[in-house]
Amino acid sequence: MNSSLNKIHSFLSDKSKRFLYLSYLGFYDRVDDKSFIEKKFRALLGYEPDLDHPVTFNEKINWLKLNYRKTEFTSEVDKYEVKKYVEQKLGSEFIIPNYGVWDRFDDIDFDSLPESFVLKCTHDSGSRVICRNKADLDMKAARTRLEKVLEHDYYKLNREWPYKDVRHRILAEMFLDNHGKALNDYRFYCFNGQPKFFSIDLEVNSSCRVNFYDPELKILPFGVAEEPPLFDAEVKMPSNIDRMLEIAKVLSHDHPFLRVDLYNVDGKIYFSELTFFSYGGFMGFCPDRSWDGKIGAYLDLPEAPVKP
């Protein structure tokens, strides 16, 4: 009983927690983008954003979210359509092969799929269903998960406008077998077409930790609070990391900021996704917030807004 009362008291007394919970339930769906972003910024990052004269990384990312809107960005966040963009830029060798794309779960032709594959939605982030053996796939659980995601408007979560008009579909693609281990996600943070640093996911006791490195492969003294770094971790870099940096540079050309996410499986590089607003524009730097300003200095914003 005391635990329940404490939770109720926390909800009523903590304005930030109250906003985050109510926004999750959709209470703020009709609030304009700028007001919503300001509220969520304060709730998650703990300081008042200046979105008219941005200085920090998160302020600048949210300025881009509100003011730098090119129509092609919609296809570049679409998990199916973006592969065409990458193939045009780099060729097909870095593309994870597709097996099909469908509007509904019940439209999926499972008989045509191989024994292992990945299902994911085209309009959001993180909605994967990994199938290592088709005979063992829990169809009911997969249907429940993916149909729920199909109904979800990912734009409303952080007001990442490119997702607003992405067609909601289910994509089946090749399963990348990393010898039974989780895939390392290499995320290259590119500023005005230059990769300044990258992160690597580390799985520790079933939890995710994230280390950051500069292009010379030296570990950087910051991380994100949600997935704090392991500064003493020994990480073996891929032998072709320079090629990955070059790929990030090519794909981020002509973008003020772009995070290029790649996989590397036994030296084979695969494209994962493009991210315009890292951590939704609410990247909680640790061990101290000063890195928000230091990283913000890398990003030169356009002189004037661009609207579609």
| pLDDT digit string, tens, across residues 47-97 | 999 999 999 999 999 999 999 999 999 999 999 999 999 999 999 999 999
The percentage of the chain sitting over the pLDDT mark of 90, rounded to a whole number, equals 82
Which pTM value belongs to this model?
Answer: 0.93
Above 90 in pLDDT, residue 307? no
- Can you give the pLDDT at residue 167? 97
pLDDT band at 4 (very low <50, low <70, confident <90, very high): low
HSE-up (13 A, CA, CB side) for residue 191: 13
Confidence of residue 125 (pLDDT cuts 50, 70, 90): confident
pLDDT tier at 187, thresholds 50, 70, 90: very high
| Higher per-residue pLDDT: 280 or 184 | 280
| Confidence label for 6 from pLDDT (cuts 50, 70 and 90) | low
pLDDT reading at 155 higher than 70:
yes
| Confidence band of 11 (pLDDT split at 50, 70, 90) | low
Percentage of residues of the chain with pLDDT beyond 70? 95
pLDDT of residue 208: 85
Is residue 71 within 8 Å of residue 308, measured between CB atoms? yes
- For the chain, what are the domain ranges? 1-27, 78-84+95-176
Report, as an integer, the average pLDDT of 156-167.
96
Residue 8 has pLDDT above 60, yes or no: no
Whether the Cβ atoms of residue 117 and residue 176 lie closer than 8 Å to each other: no
Confidence band, pLDDT 50/70/90 cuts, at residue 17: confident
- Give the pLDDT mean for 121-147: 94
